[in-house]
Amino acid sequence: MRHILIVLAASTALAGCNTTPSDQPETVSAAAAGPAAPAGTGAPQIGSFGFDLAGMDRSVDPGDNFYAFANGDWERATEIPADRSNYGMFTLLDDLSKTRTRAILEEAARTPGSRIGDFYASFMDEAAIQRAGIAPIQPLIAEIKAVRDRSQWATQLGNLFRRGVTGPFGGYISSDDRIPTEMIQRLSQSGLGLPDRDYYLRDDATFTEKRNAYQAYLAQLLTLAGEGDAAARAAAVLRFERGLAEVHWTRVESRDDERTYNKWARTEFNANAPGFDWPRFLDAIGVGDQPNLLVSQPSAFAGSARLIAQTPQGVLNDYLLLRLVDDAAPYLSDEFVNTHFAFHGTVLNGTPQIEDRWKRGVTLVTSMVSDDVSRIYVERHFPPEAKAAADELVRNVIAAMDRRLAGLSWMAPETRERARAKLAAFTPKIGYPESWRDYSSVQVSRENLLQNVLNATEFEYRRNLAKLGRPVDRSEWFMTPMTVNAYANPTWNEIVFPAAILQPPFFDPNADPAINYGGIGAVIGHEISHHFDDQGSRYDQTGALREWWTPQDRERFNALTGQVVTQYDAYEPLPGHRIQGRLTLGENIADLAGLTVAYDAYRMALGGREAREIDGFTGDQRFYLGWAQVWRRKYREENLLQRLLTDPHSPSEQRAAVVRNLDPWYAAFRINPDDTLYLAPGQRVSIW
């Protein structure tokens, strides 16, 4: 999974296929779109046609701030819940998913012997967890404290890697980008306790304050773990992490799929990144027999290995100890839980209150033994008719994308036909996977929460390790049906839409088609477009990372995407902190193209007719309001700052503002040159 619709911050582990359309129709099914007014088995769940009119601020000119026009009164009336760093339509549906899942888990917990029920019960048994204190992780701490040299340290780093605790080198197993029919271990830079290298390297007051708070947090963890001289040892670990940050690539550099594709033979690691015992580490993580591995940031690996060789053994051991305790803290006694939340929740994200325990339990069990929960969730909350309607919408938007590609003027005919062939090879996945994982080998106890987490983590690690040397299973999903999100995977040429996002405000079979096309239709278009963004466009119809464009087409494409970068670089959501146009480029392209294609699909579904007005709004106006409504979202300042540094997605107000590039939006709302969002026709960016 490379591209997702939105990032939802969560930490749940101890660590940080349907048929492919054979051809594309030239018209969209009007039956799937429905009539121009609400119809179906009942009324829309939101408002009279699927949009919350009361949430608008009609005193705002849509051309000055389209987000505020569509959502201003909602914004003023909405308080971010105390246990959230941000709140909006995604979090609203996430709460619904959690409530539904809670009912499943509480029902299961009433019957001892149920795997998901026992797992949930072990998390909810606060008294037992409190009595255990630090005891559950003491054996792991003892392993770290027994390390005497660099080779033992490399082995221990690998042991923790298997348990989901990442140090300077993280990674995962996936399809080889250039040979997508083969699975390979990818390794990437990792190991920072703060969200990004900028938190270590920038010296203004905000980041200095965060670093000081982090150092104090590390000292607290050492004290809770029964260690002495905590302040000095925490300062030494912070210096080590700063050294890692200094050699890390930026997030913009790390999102370049060409630059991050570096295949190293196993025997080359010691020469390419000397100073670290690579054979011991690779053996410990289970890939010591692999002839080749992918390394995402070669210079960061060399710099990190050099730093490890220069750092005192005691500091290295303390670093591992702190990585372990920080990851395990949410599953230990209250003093660990509260200390962990005070830093990660409040200092870094501005969240004043920790989530209710049942919510954290739902998140944990769902992440650890996901398919056990997912199977029941789908049976109860995703009827076949909802899947059928979503399937039809996906086909309609794909058809609109194909028509747009066929008429693309800036691309050479040979490249254009390859693009259409790639689109025709898409695999859409809707709702839930075709088969469920078997967790029968995962040992779960009602009495030992941390051991349950370790057992489930080890199961998942072994399951992924077993993929090496086997045929690629393209039926696998990388999100649960309960996840309010969607993703595109370029190596498998697929788009994936979990059941939980196929609900209002994104999709409602009884809502006006304009709202559905502006909501879930644009989301579908967004994920399709990821396969043609600045990185996804580098993968051919088989999913292989290779150039299939003419040089002239790539040059024209880069000129267009450069305009997108410039447009988003100008936004300043927080004083002194702008959107990074390069970091958010892929998502901004997908928003722009996705909304464009969804509009085409909507107009095609009308079959040449004009939709009648509803509550004073034309069909086109309702389409764009549907887009703006799904981006209703409020952020705490700390969370927004972190997102501006780390999130490849732009904030919601600017995502809504992508409409300023679309000619039909100007006509729909009579936008004029005096409006703030106005762009002259020649400045409006149109790519796909």
pLDDT at site 42: 84
Nearest to 436 by CA among 368, 489, 374, 492: 374
**Percent with pLDDT over 90 in the chain:** 92
What is the CATH number assigned to the segment(s) 135-354?
1.10.1380.10
Q: For all residues of the chain together, what is the average pLDDT?
A: 94
* Phi, psi angle pair for 443, to nearest 5°: -80, 125
Strands (E), 243-299: 263-265, 292-295
What is the distance in angstroms between the CA of the first residue and the CA of the last residue of the chain?
22
- Ranges of CATH 1.10.1380.10 domains, the chain: 135-354
Instruction: State mean pLDDT over 617-639.
Output: 98
* 171 strand-pairing partners: 187
CB-based contacts of 573-581 (< 8 A; 24+ apart in sequence): 573/640, 573/644, 573/651, 573/653, 573/654, 574/637, 574/640, 574/641, 574/644, 577/641, 577/644, 577/645, 578/644, 579/644, 579/650, 579/651, 579/654, 580/251, 580/252, 580/644, 580/645
Residue 168 in tokens: 């300077």
User: Considering only 36-50, 218-232, 276-290, which range has the smallest mean pLDDT?
Assistant: 36-50
Q: Rounded distance, CA 579 to CA 554, Å?
A: 25
Q: Is 30 a residue whose pLDDT tops 50?
A: no
Q: Rounded distance, CA 517 to CA 597, Å?
A: 10
The predicted-structure confidence for 372-384, as pLDDT tens digits, reads as follows: 999 999 999 998 8
pLDDT at site 7: 60
The predicted-structure confidence for 585-626, as pLDDT tens digits, reads as follows: 999 999 999 999 999 999 999 999 999 999 999 999 999 999
Q: Rounded distance, CA 384 to CA 378, Å?
A: 10
DSSP state at residue 676: T
pLDDT at site 389: 87
Q: Is 632 a residue whose pLDDT tops 70?
A: yes
Q: Are 336 and 141 in contact (CB under 8 A)?
A: no
Q: Is 13 a residue whose pLDDT tops 80?
A: no
Q: Is 196 a residue whose pLDDT tops 50?
A: yes
Q: Is 15 a residue whose pLDDT tops 90?
A: no
3-state secondary structure string, 479-539? CCCCCCCCEEECCCCEEEEEHHHCCCCCCCCCCCHHHHHHHHHHHHHHHHHHCCCCCHHHE
Element (H, E) at 174: strand 169-175
Whose structure tokens read 């390394």?
295
Q: Are 195 and 348 in contact (CB under 8 A)?
A: yes
The predicted-structure confidence for 260-289, as pLDDT tens digits, reads as follows: 999 999 999 999 999 999 999 999 999 999
What distances in angstroms separate CA 582 from CA 177, 232, 647, one per listed residue?
22, 39, 11
* Phi, psi angle pair for 171, to nearest 5°: 160, 180
pLDDT at site 3: 72
- Judged by DSSP in three states, 617 sits in strand
**Residue 292 burial class via C-beta count within 10 angstroms: exposed 0-12, middle 13-18, buried 19 and up:** middle
Strand order in 183-189's β-sheet? Answer: 169-175, 183-189, 292-295, 263-265
Nearest to 380 by CA among 115, 97, 94, 92: 97
Q: Are 484 and 100 in contact (CB under 8 A)?
A: no
User: Considering only 156-165, 386-395, 400-409, which range has the smallest mean pLDDT?
Assistant: 386-395
pLDDT at site 660: 98
pLDDT at site 23: 27
Q: Is 209 a residue whose pLDDT tops 70?
A: yes
- Between residues 14 and 162, the one the model is more confident about: 162
Q: Predicted confidence band at 26 (pLDDT cuts at 50, 70, 90)?
A: very low
- Ranges of CATH 3.40.390.10 domains, the chain: 40-99+384-435+472-683
Q: Is 32 a residue whose pLDDT tops 50?
A: no
Q: Predicted confidence band at 386 (pLDDT cuts at 50, 70, 90)?
A: confident
Class of the domain covering 40-99+384-435+472-683: alpha beta
Q: Rounded distance, CA 28 to CA 11, Å?
A: 41
Q: Are 237 and 319 in contact (CB under 8 A)?
A: yes
The predicted-structure confidence for 492-543, as pLDDT tens digits, reads as follows: 999 999 999 999 999 999 999 999 999 999 999 999 999 999 999 999 999 9
Angle at 552 between CA 549 and CA 556, to 5 degrees: 95
Q: Is 414 a residue whose pLDDT tops 70?
A: yes
The pTM is what?
Answer: 0.93
Sign for the CA dihedral angle at 559, 560, 566, 569 comes to negative
pLDDT at site 1: 55
Residue 632 in tokens: 């209703």
Q: Are 517 and 525 in contact (CB under 8 A)?
A: no
The predicted-structure confidence for 542-596, as pLDDT tens digits, reads as follows: 999 999 999 999 999 999 999 999 999 999 999 999 999 999 999 999 999 999 9
User: Considering only 14-23, 334-343, 462-471, 651-660, which range has the smallest mean pLDDT?
Assistant: 14-23
